[in-house]
Every structure is written in C-alpha cells, then in structure tokens.
Structure 1
Amino acid sequence: MTDAGQRGLGHSTNLVGRPPDWLASCAFNEAPAPLHIWGVREMNSSLFAMLDQAETPAEAGGAFLAYMTAMFGLDDEQRDEGSGKRRFRSSFLRLIQGWSFDSNGPEGAVLKGWVESRFGVCPSFHKGIIAQVSDPAWAGYVEEKMASGFHNNAIWVQLDLLFEFCQWAIARFAFPGQTHLTLFRGVNGFDEHRIVERIDRRAAVVRLNNLVSFTTDRSVADCFGDRILTAQVPLAKVLFFNGLLPATLPRGEAEVLALGGEYRVRVDYV
C-alpha cells in the first residue's frame, strides 16, 4: 500500500502493467499512455474482429451488446429458471444505471472494486472518507463490493470488456486522434475531493475518487454544485460515455465515467 496521507490507498500490482501511483498522478494525466487490461482482446478476438466490420458507432454498439447478451445471458429469455424462480444475473448495464442514481450505492462499490482490482487504485470515498483500511467506510465498501448478488455472472469480466470496447470506440469513432477531453464536475465542497495542492484561487490539484463522473456540458455541472471543476481527462482513462451504446442507458447528463486519482483542475464558482 502507498502512504494514504500522500497518495491514497493503492496496490503495487494491477492488470494493466502500469504503476498504480503513476496512473493516479497528474503526470499520467498530462502525458497519458494507452491502457489495456491483459488478455481481454486476445481472449475475445471474435468480438473485435466483428467490431472491425462496423461502419457506424451505432452498428458497433449493437454488435457489442449482442456479444455481451450471448456471452453472459443478459436477456430475460436466457435467465436460468431451472429452480422455478428467475435467477438474477448481474449485468454491467445495471451497474452503470445504478451508478447514475447513486455512486455510493452497492453498484458504485462494485465499480470502484473493479477499478481497484484492474488498475490498483483504491477508492478514497464511499459513503465516507477512506484514508486507511481501518476506516469504517473501508469496511462498508468491501462488504458492498463483494456482495454475492453482483458476482454470479463474471461481472468484472463484463466490465473488462466494456473498458476495452470503450477504448476501441474512442479510437475508431468517437475521438480519433485525440488524447484528452475537457470535462466538468459540479461539487458543493471538497469533502469527497481532497485538495492536494492549492495553486491559486482558481487552480488546484485535487484527489478524486478512483472512479468519477464528469460531464461534457458545463451547464449540467452547474446543477450539481456551486463549484465547477474543469479538468483535462485522458481518454485512456474513460470507461463509459454517453453515445457509446444504443439507447439503453440515460443520456440526459452528457456523462463520462473515468478513472480518478489526482487531477489538476480549474475551480470556478457558480
């Protein structure tokens, strides 16, 4: 573990072959490198061969959903009813939907747990500040992230595929040739976002959670707080953005879900 007081909790290993401290640093954000979860594309080569045939983002999104439905039995018709009862099968779609309602709910814990497992960066907030493993918030987070109801259908493998598909779609259709997006986040205070360095009244380095929501629309950020954080977010850190998939998920907030860590941000006041 790293020094929680300086860099936050983290692991020394992950599944992307990049040092976790670097992934969570401003240095990575300013000069990002590609991120790929080991073995995902190689073990699902048929998916990416199919995606390479897509001519539009909608066609690619539809192909991805069809693959995920077939692989993980996400349709109602494919659910196991051998016991006479419908068996719930966890789905990455439900996690994204749950996150949009409450990032500190059980779905949020599972998503943060996936980031911890794959990238080695632990959450800094889940219903409370997490500065060390002895904090009550850490125990609550661990309990929720490992809830058996979410781990009966290889949910982290589903998220691995979502991340790799997102990175493929970014390069192929959404933002070809770009390295960053200018994104916004509205906050009412810095309880969840520790200030690492105050550069001046309008600029700071803040420690964001290991997974965090941004928006591409500044006016949307105004609805979520009286302070607006503006950040240059590396596309290599993006897990999900509105328009990635067909009209399956809410689109009203122009949301982008990205890996967190330390970010150099501009702070404006509404």
Structure 2
Amino acid sequence: MQAMRDAGHPRRSIGHSTNMVGRSPDWLASAGFNDAPEPLHIWGVREMNPSLFAMLDRAGDPAEAGAAFLAYMMAMFGIDPEQRDEGAGGRRFRASFLRLIQGWSFDSNGPEGAVLKGWVESRFGLCPSFHKAIIDEAAGPAWAAYVDEKMASRFHANAIWVQLDLLFEFCQWAVARFAFPGQTHLTLFRGVNAFDAHGIAEWTGGRGAVVRLNNLVSFTSDREVADCFGDRILTVRVPLCKVLWFGGLLPSHPLRGEGEVLAVGGDFRVSADYV
C-alpha cells in the first residue's frame, strides 16, 4: 500500500467520537486547536485525588513536588524505580508509568509505546496513525497488532491508565506552577526522514506545512539533538496543555534526553528545514 497520499490529502485518521477531556477529538487534533489551545483536564482525576494536589500545593520547588508525586504513586500502586521482572528475586512485576516512559525512550513502537498510545486513544479520542506500520483502517493488520500490544497484560495492568491520568494531571500542574507559568506553547524540534511520506495536510508557503503527527509524539527542546534523528528538522509550537512529560518533571527520570518532551499529537503547523 502506498505510504502516503499526495500533499493536501493526508492519511485518513481513525478516532473516537467521545473522550474524557470534554473537547471534540476532531477539534483536539486540529491545527486550529494547536494554534489557540484550551486547558485540558481528564475528568475526575483531581477531584478523586485531593490529598495529592493538596500536598503538591505545599511544595516549595519542582524537586519537592516531584518527590511528593513519586511518593504518592508508590503508595497508591506499589511501584518503585528498582522493581524487578516477574519472578526475579521473588518480587512480583508491577506495571508502572516509569517503565512505560523508559520503554518509549528506547522504542516508541514497542509494547510500552502501544500502551501509551492506547491511553491517548482512551482519554483524548485520538487513535495512533503509526505503530510499527501505518494504521489507516480499524480492520487492518497494523491496527490488530497495535491492539494486541496495547492490551497485553505485562504492561496493561496495575491500573496503568489511571497512573497515566495522574501523570498527565501532575505534569499540567507542574507546567502552570513551576516550569512554564503564563506560557501557552513551547517551541520544539523533531528530526524526521522522508518528510514527504508524512501526512501533509497543507503546504502553507516556503518551508511551512500542516503535518499530521502520531497521537503521541516525542519532541526535543534542543535543535542539535533533533539533527541526529533525520535529514529534516520540524520546528513546532506545541501547546503546553498537551504535554505529558518534559525533562525535569521528576527529580530522577527514565527519559535519556534532558530536553525531551512527550506530547499528545494531531495536526501541527511546522517549518521544515534541512539539517
């Protein structure tokens, strides 16, 4: 199957009509939303965890807030950074958001990446457009392989989507309180190969385009890092309300790059420059 449509005719997206953030999935995925974003919160998360956010409000700096969040997650879900695989040392493996983020950093198309993309699908109504292969129909083999991985019991256990709900809400709290107060966007970079094979919705003149990115996307705040990942560099204004993870969110974290940012995807206006 052809890997792309002609410019102006991007791959058809698969999505849901409902989600858990109170915004239309089509609107969430649009370049219009990304240009002028609105706050996003997953229904019920803050209301059901008042003690966490009361504790966070007492934090004096980002490190103290991150430590408080980790302590809460360990108490709630029995996780810790040194957990072993099932059976190793007599300790039972528990799925955790830390393992998912670490797995994503090595391979976004691995089983951990499938669970993360599945969380975005469930909470935001945006389905992935790629997982090991292009996904352009719900009945196709690429979709079936993605579903099989996202629901596998090894990582889709221990209320893992609830863990990710809490991570997202903590990230949004940290963005507003400490990291980027008063800001709506971050200017970030992404290195890509075969740019013309991406879902280009519109050419906007010069090096500008509207590009459909996957439902969960890694960016970097360091352009030199992006240079290592492709022959084109996309410069993108990413709404902070879509950010799930950024370097410095936790005092110790599993993403290798300090400048890496993980955000919910959709259609973004980009400037595409050669390395």
Contact 2:210–2:269 at 8 Å: present in 1 too? yes
> Which position in structure 1 is the counterpart of 2:192?
187
TM-score (norm: length of structure 2): 0.92
**Aligned partners of 2:83, 2:228: CA distance in 1, in Å?**
40
The ranges of structure 1 where at least 4 consecutive aligned residues each deviate by more than 4 angstroms after the TM superposition are 4-7, 76-79
Contact 1:5–1:131 at 8 Å: present in 2 too? no
3-state secondary structure, aligned to 2:265: strand
3-state secondary structure, aligned to 1:66: helix
**Aligned partners of 1:75, 1:26: CA distance in 2, in Å?**
38
Residues 1-270 of structure 1 mapped to structure 2, 5 A cutoff: 8-75=13-80, 85-190=90-195, 193-270=198-275
Code of the aligned partner of 1:172: R
**Aligned partners of 1:191, 1:37: CA distance in 2, in Å?**
34
Distance change (3 Å), C-alpha of 1:36 and 1:201:
same
**Aligned partners of 1:194, 1:78: CA distance in 2, in Å?**
39
Deviates most, 190-199 or 52-61? 190-199
Contact 1:216–1:255 at 8 Å: present in 2 too? yes
Deviates most, 202-211 or 130-139? 130-139
3-state secondary structure, aligned to 1:256: strand
Code of the aligned partner of 1:138: W
Which runs of no fewer than 5 residues in structure 2 stay unpaired?
1-8
**Aligned partners of 2:10, 2:20: CA distance in 1, in Å?**
25
Contact 1:185–1:213 at 8 Å: present in 2 too? yes
3-state secondary structure, aligned to 2:213: strand
The alignment covers a number of residue pairs equal to 266
3-state secondary structure, aligned to 1:212: strand
Contact 1:220–1:253 at 8 Å: present in 2 too? no
CA-based RMSD of the aligned residues comes to 2.1
Which runs of no fewer than 5 residues in structure 1 stay unpaired?
none
Distance change (3 Å), C-alpha of 1:192 and 1:124:
farther
Contact 2:150–2:156 at 8 Å: present in 1 too? no
Distance change (3 Å), C-alpha of 1:251 and 1:72:
same
**Aligned partners of 1:126, 1:200: CA distance in 2, in Å?**
30
**Aligned partners of 1:235, 1:25: CA distance in 2, in Å?**
15
Deviates most, 166-175 or 201-210? 201-210
Q: By how many angstroms is 1:150 displaced?
A: 1.5
Query: 1 or 2 for the larger relative contact order (CA 8 Å, sep ≥6)?
Result: 2
Q: By how many angstroms is 1:93 displaced?
A: 0.2
Deviates most, 86-95 or 154-163? 86-95
3-state secondary structure, aligned to 1:244: coil
Q: Deviations over 1:208-247 (max 9, x none)?
A: 0000000000000000001000111000000000000012
Distance change (3 Å), C-alpha of 1:78 and 1:9:
closer
3-state secondary structure, aligned to 1:16: coil
Q: Deviations over 1:161-199 (max 9, x none)?
A: 000000000000000000000000000113773111122
Fraction of identical pairs, as percent: 78
